[in-house]
Amino acid sequence: MRIIPAIDIIEGKCVRLSKGDYDTKKIYNENPLEVAKNFEAHGIKYLHLVDLDGAKSKHIVNHKILEQIASKTTLKIDFGGGLKTDQDLHIAFESGASQITGGSIAVKDPTIFEHWITTYGSDKIILGADAQNEKIAINGWQEESTKELIPFIKTYMKKGISYVICTDISKDGMLEGPSFDLYKKILHSCQPEPVEGQNVDALRQAQRDNGIKLIASGGISTFDELPQLAELGCEGTIIGKAIYENRISLKQLENFILNH
């Protein structure tokens, strides 16, 4: 399971919110590059970078910070927040993103999101499936849509999506533990069904090749939760506030990466 720390950006600073509420903003560092370099120094290879200004403005805003981190570290960055147009995507990839995450756009403009999957390939495009009560939330979680979480994911898997970041908004930033039951339900529902006569090894291979690559996000509060998410079958996990509040140390993450 990949360990993916998060950096959320408002006005060029590294912040965290609770349940996506901008009024709960807490600044942890004025220099996101410094934070990213510290992650890299502890053997971390991936970064989830969120442009919260972009999510609010509905277009990419903090691409200079993306460019700075991408050019001055070796971290593979997935970037999200406010990506609405082909131009936004072009800027994100030009600025050094390895992958981008689309959430609201996948609900509001499926045509353009499907065009991105076709153009860039499923390794580059992540579906952001953030949910409240198993309903998809959009626009920086300011709105709840009528889309049901699991059918929404399944629809996009049929269109080629394999990477999915799922945040249970009720858990985000609360340090109360992740939604194990929700992830278990998603993983169970979004795997290829066994074919008649197929042996166990062939089924597992099919699930690895064609099943969901689920990235758990929201609520991670202790180190012990990480092996549990790995055991469930999550492909990655995004960790935010637990790092910044020193609930999980970078040394613990370094050891986890070395031993898995």
Question: Band of the pLDDT at 121, cuts 50, 70, 90?
Answer: very high
Residue type, 14: C
Which pLDDT score, from 0 to 100, does residue 41 have? 98
- Per-position b or e across 95-115, b if 16+ CB within 10 A of its CB: bbbebbbbbbbbbeeeebbbe
Residues noted as catalytic: 8, 130
Interval 46-96: pLDDT, tens: 999 999 999 889 999 999 999 999 999 999 999 999 999 999 999 999 999
Closest CA to 120 of 90, 143, 154, 145: 90
Which whole number is the average pLDDT over 211-232?
94
Comparison of pLDDT for 206 and 238, the residue scoring more: 238
pLDDT of residue 248: 97
Q: Give percent of the chain above pLDDT 70.
A: 93
Predicted local distance difference test score (pLDDT) of residue 142: 60
Cα separation, 107 vs 83, whole angstroms: 13
Q: CA 139 → CA 49, 77, 144, 203, 220, distances in Å? A: 17, 21, 9, 38, 23
Per-residue pLDDT at 141? 56
In DSSP terms, 126 is beta-bridged to 101
Is the confidence at residue 140, as pLDDT, over 60? no
Amino acid at 197: G
Domain that holds residue 100: 2-259
User: Which of 21, 20, 19, 39 lies closest to 29, judged by CA?
Assistant: 39
Q: What is the CATH number of the domain that holds 113?
A: 3.20.20.70
Q: Which of 128, 209, 208, 201 is nearest to 164 (CA)?
A: 128
For the segment 138-154, the average pLDDT, to the nearest whole number, is 79
End-to-end alpha-carbon separation of the chain, Å? 8
Q: Residue 17 pLDDT > 90, yes or no?
A: no
Q: Closest Cα to residue 78, out of 246, 249, 235?
A: 235
pLDDT band (50, 70, 90) for residue 157:
very high
Whether the predicted pLDDT of 37 surpasses 90: yes
DSSP symbol at 152: H
**pLDDT for res 196:** 75
Average pLDDT over residues 236-249: 95
Question: pTM to 2 decimals?
Answer: 0.92
Helix, strand, coil: what percent of the chain each, to 5? 40, 25, 35
Q: Number of structural domains, the chain?
A: 1
Contact 236, 257 (CB under 8 A): no
Pairwise CA distance, residues 162 & 124, whole Å: 10
